[in-house]
Structure 1
């Protein structure tokens, strides 16, 4: 008995020891696991970057917007997402309650984490072996939106919890809710409830009804599944007048079918798309689709309304009414219709430059341009821009119009209209039949200017150097100047007028006369070697070339090649190495239209930050380029060009107009740059440089006609003003010329003694009317590569002159 008892006692002792050991092991495992878990959590939290909850607004991206000069919205700068911040007070209570009901019903009672919901989600995830069901409160979701991202991981969840407590400790519940409603994604590239309201219903969020609020609140759970609309192909039997139309960008390989093109034409006839939209469809840059209501979003809306009823946010009557309220998709536009993106491309580039000047890095400037929430007030006049876009869509204005292998119409066009008194660009064309962004902006592309350079290169420089409109030169072949000129042999096309004044040299675009005026720059015009010889002898051509180039750079020309352009072929006739862009050409003419003051072309007037602070405002930074007296006198000569010479196609009644044509060799480029007392406008027409055959086979009058098409309508309601004559500009008779002309008081014309040397008038009969391109030198172009031009600088004499172009123009 005792032995049995001892055995039992011993056996119990062994069992008891085993249990104790097992408990100790389990306890150790628990301690180790706890230690490991705690270590892991601590490691995660230590690695989490510090946040500044009170500065949450800076973490919420907001889409920047571009406005016109009268504060019309031109374009919302959507790169990847469209977002617009709105204060909680402007968000309907129904929308606030709908989000809380579906996303976080105990939002106002928890302190960052809803442990009841965590337990339920944990059980579900253990059962399914996944992390499919989260237990994130609105505060945790806000932490994800602002700081951690959407990756599903335990580490991210722990960090969300950590940040959520930080947010709750620093912010009020209303601040957290406001931040969440402005940072949550709502499908179709929209972020925030304001962007969602404008995208899906074309209304401010404050105007949403209960049914719409519940629909919007349901999107965030699975944005693509619960998006309010899907897109479908438009069918011929659809009611085209009432469809919700979307123009979707397509890949380069995509081709719109004949049926789609027919539908596009019908949409154009109905006014649903404009001519520019139609051309994009025809060029396979976009395709039209329709937005249709997504029935799955209705199921989610119904669930939310049920929860709102259950949680007593709405009454049964409100529930019934909302459930039966039809949802009407009304897509909001993000940009002004009928405007190509070339102008906005310029606005974006200038804005980035401004931001970098304000201290932003290149990367930050680019990011803030789109997501900084800036209001960018541009100089665009919407009516002028639309008119220009509509005008260039008319192919009949471009003789020989054709579509190249890349689907781009040729010849191409570029034009700039700007206010010469402020520098503000009002309208810009960077091409026709194409949009901007990824495409070449021809307004920025330098092209040879031909004779349109003459007023701003030779004559502006000469007048500031003491020349007058009445200076006398022999409009005749100039080969006798030197052996180099004899070999170069520059010519006029058409008539030579013998001894005449600078006014006529400008009016008839004399090539040889302009070269003679250029040679005299920087010299003593009263020196006997100049007054007593047909062609001036006491000249310094290298100095003259440098003075002309200095002047061009002073008025904004940035594309000079100071080595290879240091010659009169480039500077007097426009045969430059690189050329001048239409944008810089418009700017270069501003001193003529603005009393001698140069205004750099600008596109941005003001930038306002989301806080309401103005971080940039354009200042008048015009600089004097010439005297107002010389600007006026040169303008009168350019008025003659428009009234009765090569620029007559630009003329229209009841407005003072001055300008200059330009045509390069073999009519590769044609120009007209002109101005009124209100606007400067440059027009360039030419084939893209990669086109094999560059010849246009039409004169500069085509560019002048397009200039008139642009400018006449925008001047219809403007007062007919004359260019203002300065007080100290007087009319004076020029002895021997038979006429009077304008002079700055106290100045006298040079070389008038030569008017008595003979009456040579015409050595070559005109081959074209004066109103045509009277100075194109086709013959000299064919000899161009073999002719040696006069060398005007030591540097240019060393350069390769095989591409030394005469660049004749009108």
Structure 2
């Protein structure tokens, strides 16, 4: 059949379907085939997400891990502190928290908290841009919900497994709790420093008030602490705390929560803090406990949240008997003084264990640990380091003599002059040897010594002994004008007690987690920095400080065992650094604001040292300092420094490193065959020796 033709004048009819079918259908089919797998993948992804959300919705959140209590143990294994006991956390409803706290926390931690669903994508993008621009990790993007999930249910290890779990728990928290409930959980859980968990405990600790009563200024101050309690606590660093408060107030003003005038007024407000020290912090060894926390977090890298919540155990070197003796000695020794401060640190020179630490007389009033402060001049207590340098370098021996009289010393190629003076302008006006100079703390002799040996060598020796404070190799270094810390002085003198071997001070022996796994174990670091014979000769010389005529002779009756050491006094600082074979101890007294000491105030260091040493070692039998090989004891004439014969009017038994003892003889020897070799004594004591027979007997016995 022929196709019907259109009549003239009628439009031609076009059939589009065949054309579409022929031209476009193949293209549509081809496009469908291309989209099949992406669409299927998208559908699968949507199904996976939906299934995951459904799964998480049906799962219960794990038990929170915040209830684990960490412990600090002394050397005997007794508990001396706990971290995060239940008494430190006081939960309150969000309605009983000052609105300023909520706004301040959101402004600095998560300003889009009420807009996101657990993850702040905009905040993450903003943080990435800021960090790329500054080439650092200045800004983070962790939401409050993420922080809460991490703190409640997880450890703080940096692994992908932990991050995935954190994301899952974040979703579950958002599913199971309202935003207000999450905010309340966060504020009741977060750590505000000094043992305070939760905003209620923090309000009580810092301001002695309820969380509901916190002002804008107080709220902004507290909101800044969780970022880093060690750095932003007003008790630790007021400048950092105020700077952080300023940042938070500005953030609140920028968010429209407060006016700029309110922010400025709050920043200028003088806050009244509750004295730190009530409760647990006023207990046993508080300065040592703070020191342990500092070492664990800042030096060993233990996460502070893990320290406070992870159930770890810290094994320390503290000897509770010694610590109790130290606290009592400082307390009794400072009676009658309202403002004067004191510090004591004691180290076992044989292993470096810190046995006792008292950083001040009243932790409740002031938490500054003065045993660690490198701001105090050691005065004459630095002189043994100088004399050790002179002995070991071969420039001097114990009988090297200088005249004790007012003297001017030129240095720096004659361009400068130094004129030291003795205490109370008292001089021998005659030649004296090293033992006399140490016992009487003669400054003229000390400056003569440093001019002889050279200041650079003295600085080098001090570094070997563990003193890291800045020192200038100038004549005044001989008199202890370069500031040091008590812990460095105790460690340095421990080298003398330990036969020339320096052992790095240790406070933490090991740290274990809640299951007993060792997280950290101390390695003993020791080094022979002084020849044993020279260390012993210095010990023998420093024993004279406690003999008749010595600067510490007034306390000699309090110590019933061999002891060596050196006093030191400046206008503002007084020291006694001394040791037995078992303990090296530094005691400092003075004022925090460099107020000058009276004579009575300067004399407090020595009795504190004596009372502490005797009580700390009450159960330890007295021991003499062991005499190493290479030491000889000979009788010498103190006036001439020569070997003493029977006809010499005065004699003194003196210790020398073998080969450095004098060879010339004073007077005519009674017996030409008298033995003056190693281990012997030339001549015999005359009647003049009877005044010091006990000291000579002790030295003879050691030989």
After TM superposition, the structure 1 = structure 2 runs for residues 438-477 of structure 1, keeping only pairs within 5 Å, are 439-446=367-374, 447-456=376-385, 458-466=386-394, 467-477=396-406
Query: Corresponding residue for 1:777?
Result: none
Q: Judge conservation of contact 1:249–1:287 (CA < 8 Å) in 2.
A: no
Of 282, 296, 318 in structure 2, the residue corresponding to residue 380 of structure 1 is 318
Query: Corresponding residue for 1:157?
Result: 175
After TM superposition, the structure 1 = structure 2 runs for residues 534-573 of structure 1, keeping only pairs within 5 Å, are 544-561=454-471, 565-569=472-476, 571-573=477-479
Deviation at 1:448? 0.8
Is residue 745 of structure 1 aligned with residue 658 of structure 2? yes
Query: Corresponding residue for 2:334?
Result: 397
Query: Corresponding residue for 2:607?
Result: 705
Deviation at 1:557? 1.2
Deviation at 1:650? 3.6
Deviation at 1:698? 3.1
**Kindly tell me: are residues 688 and 286 of structure 1, through their superposed partners in 2, closer, same or farther at Cα, counting changes over 3 Å?**
closer
Q: Secondary structure at the match of 1:725?
A: coil
Counterpart CA distance in 1 for 2:277 and 2:300 is 35
Q: 1:34-90 CA deviation, whole Å, 9 max, x = no partner?
A: xxx99999657779999xx9xx8997773322110011111112399979xxxxxxx
How does the TM-score come out when normalised to structure 1? 0.50
Q: 1:403-455 CA deviation, whole Å, 9 max, x = no partner?
A: xxxxxxx111111011111111111011112249x831111112111111111
Q: Judge conservation of contact 2:577–2:585 (CA < 8 Å) in 1.
A: yes
Counterpart CA distance in 2 for 1:154 and 1:594 is 60
Counterpart CA distance in 2 for 1:628 and 1:465 is 14
Q: Secondary structure at the match of 2:470?
A: coil
Of 56, 64, 71 in structure 2, the residue corresponding to residue 65 of structure 1 is 71
Q: Judge conservation of contact 2:371–2:487 (CA < 8 Å) in 1.
A: yes
**Kindly tell me: are residues 46 and 671 of structure 1, through their superposed partners in 2, closer, same or farther at Cα, counting changes over 3 Å?**
same
Q: Judge conservation of contact 1:79–1:370 (CA < 8 Å) in 2.
A: no
Structure 2 unaligned spans of 5+ = 1-42, 90-148, 155-164, 179-184, 211-272, 642-649, 667-703
Counterpart CA distance in 2 for 1:463 and 1:752 is 22
Of 647, 660, 666 in structure 1, the residue corresponding to residue 552 of structure 2 is 647
Counterpart CA distance in 2 for 1:385 and 1:621 is 24
Query: Corresponding residue for 2:529?
Result: 625
Q: Secondary structure at the match of 2:303?
A: helix
Q: Judge conservation of contact 1:660–1:673 (CA < 8 Å) in 2.
A: yes
Give the root-mean-square deviation of aligned CA atoms.
4.6
Deviation at 1:717? 2.3
Counterpart CA distance in 1 for 2:491 and 2:440 is 24
Q: 1:375-405 CA deviation, whole Å, 9 max, x = no partner?
A: 11000111222232233334x6355x23xxx
Counterpart CA distance in 1 for 2:439 and 2:572 is 22
Counterpart CA distance in 1 for 2:585 and 2:303 is 31
Structure 1 unaligned spans of 5+ = 1-36, 84-140, 161-184, 192-198, 200-222, 225-229, 232-246, 255-282, 289-332, 357-363, 403-409, 522-543, 754-810
Query: Corresponding residue for 2:418?
Result: 488
Query: Corresponding residue for 2:516?
Result: 612
Is residue 502 of structure 1 aligned with residue 434 of structure 2? yes
Query: Corresponding residue for 2:137?
Result: none
Is residue 520 of structure 1 aligned with residue 452 of structure 2? yes
Query: Corresponding residue for 1:779?
Result: none
Counterpart CA distance in 1 for 2:398 and 2:318 is 37
Q: Secondary structure at the match of 1:723?
A: coil
Q: Judge conservation of contact 1:733–1:741 (CA < 8 Å) in 2.
A: yes
Is residue 661 of structure 1 aligned with residue 567 of structure 2? yes
Q: Judge conservation of contact 1:372–1:609 (CA < 8 Å) in 2.
A: yes
Of 489, 507, 511 in structure 1, the residue corresponding to residue 443 of structure 2 is 511
Aligned residues, how many? 461
Q: Judge conservation of contact 1:413–1:685 (CA < 8 Å) in 2.
A: yes
Q: 1:511-555 CA deviation, whole Å, 9 max, x = no partner?
A: 11011111222xxxxxxxxxxxxxxxxxxxxxx212111111222
Q: Judge conservation of contact 1:582–1:683 (CA < 8 Å) in 2.
A: yes
Counterpart CA distance in 2 for 1:42 and 1:724 is 77
Q: Judge conservation of contact 1:661–1:671 (CA < 8 Å) in 2.
A: yes
Deviation at 1:353? 4.7
**Kindly tell me: are residues 593 and 47 of structure 1, through their superposed partners in 2, closer, same or farther at Cα, counting changes over 3 Å?**
farther
**Kindly tell me: are residues 190 and 461 of structure 1, through their superposed partners in 2, closer, same or farther at Cα, counting changes over 3 Å?**
same
After TM superposition, the structure 1 = structure 2 runs for residues 682-701 of structure 1, keeping only pairs within 5 Å, are 682-689=586-593, 693-698=595-600, 700-701=602-603
Query: Corresponding residue for 2:293?
Result: 348
Counterpart CA distance in 1 for 2:568 and 2:176 is 70
Deviation at 1:712? 1.8
